[in-house]
A = this chain, B = another copy of it.
């Protein structure tokens, strides 16, 4: 029905593995003093202490980036703390040194996504000019933010509402949606959008197109040069979404 890359190479069975000591990812690790953890390199600019060299241990944020990757591969409910510890290369109990628990990881990730998305609505171009132009701007920028914060936004889009955190996330997401829906309604009132499709339905279809980018875009494949080989840059995809959504697939 849709596109997606690899299934997460399969744990064979996901219950009762043959050799329970076999590591999932970052091979045995002697646990010597200076083993660099698995998923560093995307941590925020290290503050204080030794400024550049050595960045060794986990911070809540660097651990988060590992956790979010696993959440997206297996689903939040399908991810155990054991999975996270294997992926991070530290023991299960060590995770609790950095964060309160599994749900805090989810909350941090979703917060980050929501903050980035709401920031789009505060950009000047989202509040000035004709409604249809503001709507196009928000569409373009939302796609760009989605791609820049891909794993965090992806997690947000998949929330089901099973915990308090998830219910809160769904509520804030609905807020964002309604802000955009108002733009659509205004643009329709201006006569800039086709009248034969209801504004609420149009909003939903627009978001359907935008959000679907999270289903197939993989940043490692995007190395600028577009075309059938390399992936596309963020701006190129955003432009294609705007063109397709507003002008349609068909030639005229």
Contact = CB atoms under 8 A, between A and B. Distances in A.
Question: How many of chain A's residues touch chain B, expressed as a range?
Answer: 35 or more
Contacts of A212: 204-205, 207-209, 211-212
Given A232-B201, A251-B191, A196 B243 contact: yes
Interface of A is mostly: helix
Contact of A208 (B156, B166, B215, B228): B215
Interface string A198-237: 1011111111111111011000000000101000100001
Given A208-B209, A215-B208, A173 B2 contact: yes
Interface of A: 1-4, 7-8, 10-11, 13-14, 73-75, 77-78, 117, 132, 142, 153, 156-158, 160-164, 166-167, 170, 173-174, 176-177, 191-198, 200-213, 215-216, 226, 228, 232, 237, 240-241, 243-252
Nearest to A117: B1
Given A193-B251, A237-B201, A251-B194, A2 B78 contact: no
Nearest to A2: B207
Contacts of A157: 1-2
Contacts of A170: 4, 7
B205 A240 contact: yes
Given A75-B75, A77-B78, A212-B212, A202 B249 contact: yes
A176 B191 CA distance: 38
A194 B1 contact: no
Nearest to A173: B1
A3 to B, nearest CB: 5
27 contacts: A1-B142, A1-B173, A1-B211, A2-B173, A2-B208, A8-B161, A8-B162, A10-B164, A11-B162, A13-B164, A14-B163, A194-B243, A194-B249, A194-B250, A198-B226, A198-B240, A205-B240, A205-B244, A207-B212, A209-B212, A211-B212, A244-B245, A244-B248, A246-B250, A247-B248, A248-B249, A252-B252
A174 B11 CA distance: 21
